[in-house]
Chain A
Amino acid sequence: MTALPLAAAHAPTPRLLDLRGEFPAVPSDWAYLDAAATAQKPRAVIEAITRAYAEDYATVHRGVYARSARMTEAYEAARETVARFIGARPDEIIFVRGATEAINLVAQSWGAANVGPGDRILLSLLEHHSNIVPWRMLADRVGAEIDVAPLTEDGRIDEAALVARIGPRTKLVAIAHVSNVLGSVADVPRIAAAAHAAGAKLLVDGCQAAPRMALDMAALGCDFYAFSGHKLYGPTGIGVLWARGHLLAAMPPWQGGGAMIEEVRFERVTYASPPLRFEAGTPHIVGAIGLAAAIRWVEEVGIAAIEAHEAALTAMARAELEALGVRVLGPARSAGILSFAVGEVHPHDVATILDESGVAIRAGHHCAQPLMRHLGVPATARASVSAHTTPADIGRLAEGVKRVQRIFG
């Protein structure tokens, strides 16, 4: 009797991207596997930033001269690019410093107006501190309570348990679309439906999802979505808050200053409509332009192609690590991110030795201390892939891990 070949062995290998040449800061002998912390920048983004400062620079919204008008157009075109990228309207896009600021904005503006004593905010155990601390601060200020949804055995948000924890006093559910530690992907539409059925809103921290998967706000069904530009191949200091238009329209401003007003008298100020209501002061003009360039670059490569590329490399890394007897934490299918433990070796030692082998990974609590406590570890080693990662990078990771194993015998 002949053994039947496994279907998987015959599955076509997805075509890997070959983009290393577009990343001037990533030499071919360096495996940069810390994209989940921050992405390296393609030349197109660096050039757009340089051009904006070197040729096109002026302020926006104010200058009565052609250069400023063009810069304003570029800034507002960046907003349109972001809107198109996530399937939203431009006037629902607020430029912020990053996802952390986006979440703080929602907590301080929407939260202060809509969450009161005895109300509840539901988070999950795998949240990044940026999606915990603003809610803890809000809860302490208004006398609200925080609930925490548990995880499944393999490190995904236990969605059934989360849905069961949504109660009549739950005003907001706030979860990560993709875990920054484990790469687990949440079923956002399912959670949105459950939150809305109970009259609660859903905020999604999309930091790790935006660089890795196609986003469509209508399909996700959430109410707020936050992400950072620097993880999406764009510059630091720029990020996005998307919120449903009717929510933004009802939200009070959170920072006062220039650009966000309609009329100012000492007795009374009337505020501009969103999005400008939430963009006090001169914005990060070049940041927005750089982010738009990053999004155009991602669109040209194709987000689906990046997702397939990352899935293939993540599977490769998982197989290589497991073959070495390394414990990989998190679900079998994770989005571009793997946390792992090399025996009892401290993740910091793993990262130190990998660094010397030309492999950059992250070791630490990844700003997710509650998750670390749940996993029963003080820290993990985390490798994360991106559009420029190659199979050779994964090979270097495996070689570096072997070196760790030899040293710690």
Chain B
Amino acid sequence: MTFEDFEAEWDAALDTEDRYRALIAFGETLPPMDPALKTPATKVPGCSANVWVYPLAEGGRLVFQADSDAAITKGIVAVVVALAQGKRAEEVLATDFEGVIGRLGLRQHLSSNRTQGLPNMIARVREAATRLAA
């Protein structure tokens, strides 16, 4: 499932239950994260569920592994990562993560994550892009 597929499914959802199902399903499309990469260094602070983001630079492009032990949070981190996956650093730095998430209305579904968790996930992705761009 591409991010565009998810977006279409999200927008077509008839109710919030369907939206949650779409978000959870999108999270499940994340490739399995190597357990060895789930370290304090890759753990995203401020999330009440465990979330890990591991960035790698491959041929000038950013590739992320990410995971969470909570399904909804995993869907959210999948959205964040999808917006940056396989892109060049400059493209990632130019990406309006907040705008996309705002347009989807994701924040309303994330009360427990929105204060710190989500901004920290985005910050992790941006940091990786900044390092690659440097």
Looking at the assembled complex, report how far the CB atom of A19 sits from the nearest CB atom of chain B, in whole angstroms.
Answer: 26
Query: Which of B2-10, B14-22, B30-38, B91-99 is the contact stretch?
Result: B14-22
Contact A349 B72 (CB under 8 A): yes
Instruction: Label chain B's interface by main secondary structure.
Output: helix
Q: Does A363 contact B (CB under 8 A)?
A: yes
Extra contacts, 19 of them, besides A346-B71, A348-B72 (Cβ < 8 A), are: A345-B71, A346-B49, A346-B70, A347-B70, A349-B49, A349-B70, A349-B71, A349-B72, A352-B70, A352-B111, A352-B112, A353-B72, A356-B16, A356-B109, A363-B48, A363-B112, A364-B48, A378-B69, A407-B24
Contact B50 A352 (CB under 8 A): no
Q: Does A408 contact B (CB under 8 A)?
A: yes
Q: Which residue of B lies closest to A363 (CB)?
A: B48
Q: Return the contact of B48 from the options A348, A353, A403 (Cβ within 8 A).
A: A348
* Bound CA span A16–B109, Å: 34
Q: Does A406 contact B (CB under 8 A)?
A: yes
* Bound CA span A403–B15, Å: 12
Within 8 A of A (CB), among B99-126: 109-113
Looking at the assembled complex, report how far the CB atom of A342 sits from the nearest CB atom of chain B, in whole angstroms.
Answer: 12
A-B Cβ contacts below 8 A, count: 48
* Bound CA span A356–B16, Å: 9
Contact A348 B73 (CB under 8 A): yes
Instruction: Label chain A's interface by main secondary structure.
Output: helix
Interface positions of A (Cβ within 8 A of B): 345-349, 351-353, 355-356, 363-364, 378-379, 403, 406-408
22 contacts between A and B (CB under 8 A): A348-B48, A348-B49, A348-B70, A348-B72, A348-B73, A349-B70, A349-B73, A351-B112, A352-B72, A352-B109, A352-B111, A353-B20, A355-B112, A356-B111, A363-B48, A363-B112, A364-B48, A378-B69, A379-B49, A403-B17, A407-B20, A407-B24
* Bound CA span A363–B17, Å: 20
* Bound CA span A244–B124, Å: 52
Q: Which residue of B lies closest to A360 (CB)?
A: B111
| Known A346-B49, A346-B69: A352·B110 in contact at CB below 8 Å | yes
Looking at the assembled complex, report how far the CB atom of B98 sits from the nearest CB atom of chain A, in whole angstroms.
Answer: 20
- When distances are taken between beta carbons in the complex, the residues of chain B under 8 Å from A379 are 49
| Known A346-B70, A363-B48: A406·B17 in contact at CB below 8 Å | yes
Looking at the assembled complex, report how far the CB atom of B21 sits from the nearest CB atom of chain A, in whole angstroms.
Answer: 6
* Bound CA span A407–B16, Å: 9
Q: Which residue of B lies closest to A345 (CB)?
A: B71
- B40-78 vs A, CB cutoff 8 Å, 1 = contact: the mask equals 000000001110000000000000000001111100000
Q: Which residue of B lies closest to A378 (CB)?
A: B69
| Interface-central residue, A352, A355, A356, by most chain B CB under 10 Å | A352
- When distances are taken between beta carbons in the complex, the residues of chain B under 8 Å from A349 are 49, 70-73
- When distances are taken between beta carbons in the complex, the residues of chain A under 8 Å from B73 are 346, 348-349
* Bound CA span A20–B89, Å: 54
- When distances are taken between beta carbons in the complex, the residues of chain A under 8 Å from B49 are 346, 348-349, 379
* Bound CA span A347–B48, Å: 10
Contact A407 B17 (CB under 8 A): yes
* Bound CA span A346–B76, Å: 15
Q: Return the contact of B111 from the options A355, A364, A408 (Cβ within 8 A).
A: A355
